[in-house]
Structure 1
Amino acid sequence: MSGATPSRLVFSDVDETLIRAKSMFEFLDFYLAERHGPAGLERSAQVRAELLTQAAAGVPRADTNRTYYRIWAGAPVRHVALAGRRWFAAAVRDPRFFHADVLAALHAHRAAGAGLVLVSGAFAPIVDPIAEHVGAAHAECTRLVARNGRYTGEIIGEPVIGPAKGERVRALLRAYPAVSAANCYGYGDHLSDMPMLAEVGHPVIVGDDPGLRAGLPGAPVLAVA
């Protein structure tokens, strides 16, 4: 972020908080369909089924995220980035792509001088176009290892989910010592967002996750239909 120090930082999860979609699955559908047609969509459906089976069996989300990103091994970084922009350009034509009330809240924060920060387990080809669209100052997302212009399928550090979201919030707050955490906002829809929401003075729950409601009694709720 350049220029004046923001009045506050506003942190928002992406999937099922700012947008309605599960973006990692949606983008995989888009990318594989572009490259391989019906066979690509079939492969994407297989991946989705495998990951949902793992989740149902209790495999930690960090591990299922790593499994997802291994699918991208060998994919050209530049091609994936361009595909991400095409995916977003097509997806955003749907007026229901964004949760309208969350988007409106973020726009109001930004108009009041806040710096917006998207915090997501998705990777840059998905998150960067969304961040640009909403005017976010930072996109804290999962980054992948690349060699010779291609993804290796491995992650740099930890996936940005659960505790890693809290770590990203703390790091940015250290970078803006004049900004008080007590004055900052956070938006999330799932219990895995709790480490992020717990770092700010104004957590906002999006939807009806019982774990968040129990852990953040009294927090305002945007009950998105």
Structure 2
Amino acid sequence: MTPAMTSADHRPAAFFDVDDTLTRGTALFRFLAYWYAVQGRPPHEAVRERQRLKAMTTAGADRAETNRAYFQLLTGAPAAEITRVAESWFRAELARGGFFHEPVLEALHTHRRDGHQVVLVSGSFPALLLPVLEHTGAHHLLCTEPEITPISRTYTGRLADRPHQPMIGRAKSEAVRELAAAHRIDLDSSIAYGDHVSDAPLLSLTGRAVIVGDDQDLRRLATHHGWHRLPKAPEPPPVPLPEPHPAPPGALL
């Protein structure tokens, strides 16, 4: 009979929300502005889409709904092109500076030096997050996964038909539970970082938690649970836009 696993057999992890926690600003929208510029589309188009999604939130849509609406903007885009543009965008962000929220980035580096597993948990998607994972040295990625057609390798505008999609709210905590079981992570000795009340299920899952910023609902929870707090990220610098290169006629960008 296999003996019961004890906490001593497990290791701690640090779980990080990404947008407005690890980074300054929302990578999804910063990338959208860059991607539209690559296509030669005017800046106001990206601004208009961001305002449309914000209006959905104001009208009562939850983050999962607006997240799904964002990925409809990728409909028909070749996956390889999105990956290429995302890598170019991330390099431009690093060159511009001010992409990461430094206190949180330093906390991530400290957890890595202490031998903790570092996990990025985000409503963003792999094309944007894999460069962040590689740059920070994080070990695992849990994120929203847009559906890509198997033959043409284009985005369908829908999310993949798998559990925990989109990676928002309770889906984060459920995915973290599964990852912890698969990788022998002790959640009681782990820590989570987040900036929005939708991160509360994740923050409540670990033995320690850190809220980032001024979300009033999270601050009330932090007071109740004794969670720590880091300051809100400063406003990010403008998105570093490329010179436009309009797609040729018939391209699926």
Instruction: Normalising by structure 1, report the TM-score.
Output: 0.93
Compute the displacement of 1:58 (Å): 0.7
Contact 1:6 1:113 in 2 (8 A): no
Map of 1:119 onto structure 2: 121
Contact 2:213 2:230 in 1 (8 A): yes
Contact 2:147 2:156 in 1 (8 A): yes
Once superposed, what is the RMSD of the aligned Cα atoms?
A: 1.4
Compute the displacement of 1:37 (Å): 3.6
Compute the displacement of 1:9 (Å): 1.1
1:209 aligns with 2:211: no
Distance of 1:87 and 1:115 partners within structure 2 = 27
Identity between Structure 1 and Structure 2 (%)? 39
Map of 1:152 onto structure 2: 156
Map of 1:187 onto structure 2: 193
Distance of 1:162 and 1:223 partners within structure 2 = 22
Distance of 2:181 and 2:11 partners within structure 1 = 15
Runs of 4+ in 1 over 4 A off after TM superposition: none
Kindly indicate whether structure 1 or structure 2 has the higher relative contact order, using CA contacts under 8 Å at least 6 residues apart: 2
SS in 2 for 1:43: helix
Cα distance per residue 1:81-131 (max 9 Å; x no partner): 111111111112233211111000110100110111000001111111111
Distance of 1:205 and 1:49 partners within structure 2 = 26
SS in 1 for 2:55: helix
SS in 2 for 1:139: strand
Counterpart residue type for residue 19 of structure 1: T
Distance of 1:171 and 1:214 partners within structure 2 = 28
Map of 1:167 onto structure 2: 174
Distance of 1:108 and 1:131 partners within structure 2 = 15
Distance of 1:132 and 1:184 partners within structure 2 = 22
Compute the displacement of 1:213 (Å): 1.6
Cα distance per residue 1:35-88 (max 9 Å; x no partner): 1242xx232122111111111111111111111101101000001011111111
- 1:134-145 matches, within 5 Å, as 134-145=136-147
1:36 aligns with 2:61: no
After TM superposition, the structure 1 stretch with the greater mean CA deviation from structure 2, 113-122 or 213-222, is 213-222
Aligned partner of 1:84 among 79, 83, 86: 86
Compute the displacement of 1:6 (Å): 7.8
Distance of 2:118 and 2:14 partners within structure 1 = 5
Counterpart residue type for residue 194 of structure 1: A
What count of residue pairs does the alignment treat as equivalent?
218
Compute the displacement of 1:209 (Å): 1.3
Aligned partner of 1:219 among 224, 227, 235: 227
